[in-house]
């Protein structure tokens, strides 16, 4: 650690570019150079478009990293730290969903000026979007293994949740994670439909209305099927009284 007791604390001590340690640690020179310059933009709102999508990629990187680490914890039988990581991941998806609301501040006609410079760029190519299913399936397999080790089916876990609190909390957080993925994809779809209409073909040849059908897919369908099964079991018990 550098000794700054006798030095000028306003001067940076970290290596790298930037006039201050704040700028060097966060690499703001590189970060703020990743957007098009005013001279490169075909429209003023390109900065808005890039800001929303670049920051979304950062939050998705963080969220999927947390889910992946939670999976690693569960694979080692450590439920408690996984709970904290999954909560952080869920909150990150809320941020991703909330910030895309900014795209509704773009005029649909003016958006087309940006659309023509996207090339074949599509949200399907988002690194964060592509990583979500991978980490989701990994954490689900780890959770499912813990459930099996406890000798439980999902329906039993919900019926006896107080006896298996950590497993119950994990099931609920995984449900919320899957729900947040759905909400994010649905909100993204409605924003695209609002800008382009539902009959339009997207940048990679996919009709906007097809996107609407894709968002109905669940990443973790067993969690939702279990809820239907619980209704059946509850009604059957009542019918037998």
Among 3-7, 42-46, 63-67, which is the least confidently predicted range? 3-7
Is 100 part of any domain? yes
CA distance 189 to 208: 8
Instruction: Say if residue 236 is exposed, middle or buried (CB neighbours under 10 Å; 0-12, 13-18, 19+).
Output: exposed
Q: Cα-flanking dihedrals φ and ψ of residue 207, to 5°?
A: -60, 145
For helices 46-75 and 79-99, angle between their N-to-C axes, nearest 10 degrees: 170
Residues pairing with 201 in the sheet: 207
How many domains does the chain divide into?
1
What six digits make up the tokens of 91?
A: 């909150």
Q: With a cut of 60, say whether residue 12 has pLDDT above it.
A: yes
Is 231 part of any domain? no
What six digits make up the tokens of 110?
A: 């003016």
Closest by CA to 119, choosing from 38, 30, 205, is 205
Is 220 part of any domain? no
Can you give the pTM of this predicted structure? Answer: 0.89
What six digits make up the tokens of 150?
A: 């406890």
Is 22 part of any domain? no
The mean pLDDT value for 132-158 works out to: 97
- We report the CATH number of the domain holding residue 123 as 1.20.58.480
Q: With a cut of 50, say whether residue 1 has pLDDT above it.
A: no
Is 125 part of any domain? yes
Is 25 part of any domain? no
Is 30 part of any domain? no
CA dist 15 → 23, 27, 77, 207 (Å): 11, 11, 40, 49
Is 85 part of any domain? yes
CA distance 212 to 123: 14
Among 19-33, 56-70, 103-117, 199-213, which is the least confidently predicted range? 199-213
What local confidence, expressed as pLDDT, does residue 211 receive?
Answer: 67
What domain range is 168 assigned to? 47-215
Average pLDDT of every residue of the chain? 90
């Amino acid at each position: 650690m550098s000794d700054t007791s006798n030095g000028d604390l306003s001067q940076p001590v970290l290596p790298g570019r930037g006039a201050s340690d704040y700028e060097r640690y966060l690499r703001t020179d590189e970060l703020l150079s990743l957007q098009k310059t005013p001279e490169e933009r075909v429209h003023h709102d390109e900065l808005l478009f890039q800001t929303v999508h670049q920051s979304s990629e950062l939050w998705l990187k963080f969220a999927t990293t947390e889910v992946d680490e939670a999976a690693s914890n569960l694979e080692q039988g450590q439920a408690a730290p996984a709970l904290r990581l999954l909560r952080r991941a869920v909150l990150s998806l809320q941020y991703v969903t909330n910030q895309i609301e900014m795209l509704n501040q773009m005029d649909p006609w003016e958006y087309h000026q940006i659309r023509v410079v996207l090339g074949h760029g599509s949200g399907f190519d988002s690194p964060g979007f592509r990583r979500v299913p991978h980490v989701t399936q990994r954490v689900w397999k780890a959770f499912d293994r813990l459930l099996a080790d406890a000798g439980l089916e999902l329906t039993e876990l919900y019926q006896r949740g107080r006896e298996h609190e950590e497993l119950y909390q994990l099931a609920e957080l995984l449900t919320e994670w899957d729900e947040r993925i759905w909400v994010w994809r649905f909100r993204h779809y409605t924003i695209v439909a609002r800008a382009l209409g539902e009959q339009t073909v997207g940048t990679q040849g996919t009709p906007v209305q097809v996107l609407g059908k894709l968002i109905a897919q669940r990443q973790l369908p067993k969690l939702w099927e279990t809820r239907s099964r619980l209704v059946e079991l509850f009604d059957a018990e009542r019918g037998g009284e």
